[in-house]
Amino acid sequence: MNLLLFSAGECDTEGQLHLSGRRAQHVCQVLKARAGDQLVVGEINGLMGHAQVVAIEPQYVQLSVTLDQRPPAKLPVSLVVALPRPKMLRRILRAAAEFGVDNIHLINSYRVEKSYWQTPVLAPDTVRDYLLQGLEQARDTMLPGVHVHKRFKPFVEDDLPALMADREALLAHPGNVPVAPAEPTRRRLLVIGPEGGFIPYEVEKLLAAGCRQVSLGTRILRVENAVAALLGRAL
Amino acid sequence: MNLLLFSAGECDTEGQLHLSGRRAQHVCQVLKARAGDQLVVGEINGLMGHAQVVAIEPQYVQLSVTLDQRPPAKLPVSLVVALPRPKMLRRILRAAAEFGVDNIHLINSYRVEKSYWQTPVLAPDTVRDYLLQGLEQARDTMLPGVHVHKRFKPFVEDDLPALMADREALLAHPGNVPVAPAEPTRRRLLVIGPEGGFIPYEVEKLLAAGCRQVSLGTRILRVENAVAALLGRAL
């Protein structure tokens, strides 16, 4: 945790923040903070700043908060990912928030197992927890948007055109095509298939919608590594 | 598993490969192969090719192997990573093999917890298992070299100069420095610190040895995401 995040409602009118639970434990046990120490803090979807430790006990921390910095700019990148298995979904949500992705679209695909849609990881509070872990790591306060699209064809036909309006859409799919461009300035929509890849029909639909196919070389990468490699190429 | 790997000694003189255990189960249950099917196979540190399923039972598979293809070229990239905690070490070994890294050097650093050096993940057979998982994913047969350096200063002073002789050495460390270059052609040595980063003394030693400091933007990435992002920029 490189940034301690709190919700707007948690700070009182005098800028005092009272923590218990996981965050208090972290401040005590991992950061080993003492009264008078300064911590880097941020208000979720708000400003960042610092906080002075006013009081500290094993299960309770009081902080005096000053917010005076903007969070870093979001990466101008949206991710469209075929819903991965729950374990990988957790990592991808965290990584996407960490890299500063602005929006994450989880879509269906022929090779997405139906059971994946039932995972408790998709509960809004759980999604938010994983996103917050990514923001805490990266020192950012702005939650990315997460959008769920349970049907492939309606997503490609009805939703994708609007998402692509101001962005270059790149479909990362193995093949004899150039490697994804490494340019920091372009607004991008990155489309990544499931383990085993999109089926030919899905690739055709995505290309017909205007996506450009790119590769990550000749090797077949795990979805989470493909995501991080593509985001790395957008830095 | 996109490639079924076997050791040189496993295939008999008539090219017949007899599998049991994990690989036989995978062929039966995940690939759902039947007699006559073709699989993509490779000999560890040797050629790749295909194999026809000759016989198949729940716990036993016989394959007739033909090896006629070279594995893909290695990425001309070596990794130098401060030993991460065991869970992350497993993922980094797998990812490094997956991306095609040629050598992995695990080094000590002030912020590496001493207990990490005791992890069973560092046992040679376990390291090999994680590397093989990466090769199976990426369709490659060539194991990267893994080298352990338990003392930081002797590594930097005695080993690093030779490792850097034919490569550009990049130290990925947060700071007001340019983002790591994204160029596929250069031979590279990528140096990545522990969670919390190298301490100033270590950064100085690495810079004095000739490493060039680069960043991955203003965000602080988890080690595993920093590794994948840097490798993504070398594709």
Q: Which CATH architecture has domain A4-69?
A: Beta Barrel (2.40)
**Whole-number pLDDT of residue A58:** 83
Q: In chain A, what residues touch B2 (CB-CB under 8 Å)?
A: 220
Interface test with A, best of B85, B94, B142, B225 (most A CBs within 10 A): B225
Span B40-88, pLDDT tens digits: 999 999 999 999 999 999 889 999 999 999 999 999 999 999 999 999 9
Question: What is the residue extent of each domain of chain A?
Answer: 4-69, 77-232
- What whole-number percentage of chain A has pLDDT above 90? 93
CA distances to A222, B12, B91 from A83, in Å: 13, 42, 21
pLDDT surpasses 80 at A118: yes
pLDDT confidence of A184, banded at 50, 70, 90?
confident
Of the CATH numbers 3.40.1230.10, 3.40.1280.10, 3.90.226.10, 3.55.10.10, which one belongs to the domain with range A77-232?
3.40.1280.10
Mean pLDDT computed over A188-200: 96
Q: Which residues of B touch A (CB under 8 A)?
A: 2, 72, 94-95, 98-100, 137-140, 179, 182, 184, 216-222, 224-225, 228-233, 235
How far is the alpha carbon of B40 from chain A, nearest alpha carbon, in Å?
Answer: 13
**Whole-number pLDDT of residue B3:** 95
The SS3 of residue B38 is strand
How far is the alpha carbon of A13 from chain B, nearest alpha carbon, in Å?
Answer: 30
Contacts of A159 (CB under 8 A, 6+ apart): A105, A149
Sort A95 into a burial class: Cβ within 10 Å, 0-12 / 13-18 / 19+: buried
Q: In chain A, what residues touch B218 (CB-CB under 8 Å)?
A: 72
Query: ∠ CA(B153), CA(B122), CA(A232), 5° rounding?
Result: 75
Mean pLDDT computed over A95-118: 97
- What whole-number percentage of chain B has pLDDT above 70? 100
Which of B50, B94, B52, B46 lies closest to B71 in space, CA to CA? B46
Instruction: Find, in chain B, the residue whose alpha carbon is nearest to that of A179.
Output: B235
Rounded CA separation B82/A53 (Å): 32
Largest CA distance in chain A: 61
Give me the numbers of helices (H) and strands (E) for chain B, helices first please: 7, 11
**Whole-number pLDDT of residue B66:** 96
pLDDT confidence of B30, banded at 50, 70, 90?
confident
pLDDT confidence of A12, banded at 50, 70, 90?
very high
Mean pLDDT taken over chain A: 95
Considering only CA atoms, give the Rg of chain B: 20
Q: In chain B, what residues touch A174 (CB-CB under 8 Å)?
A: none
Span A141-180, pLDDT tens digits: 999 999 999 999 999 999 999 999 999 999 999 999 999 9
B222–A72 CB contact, under 8 Å: no
Span B75-126, pLDDT tens digits: 999 999 999 999 999 999 999 999 999 999 999 999 999 999 999 999 999 9
**Whole-number pLDDT of residue A223:** 96
Instruction: Kindly report the length of chain B.
Output: 235
**Whole-number pLDDT of residue A222:** 96
* Residue B162 parent element (H or E): helix B160-163
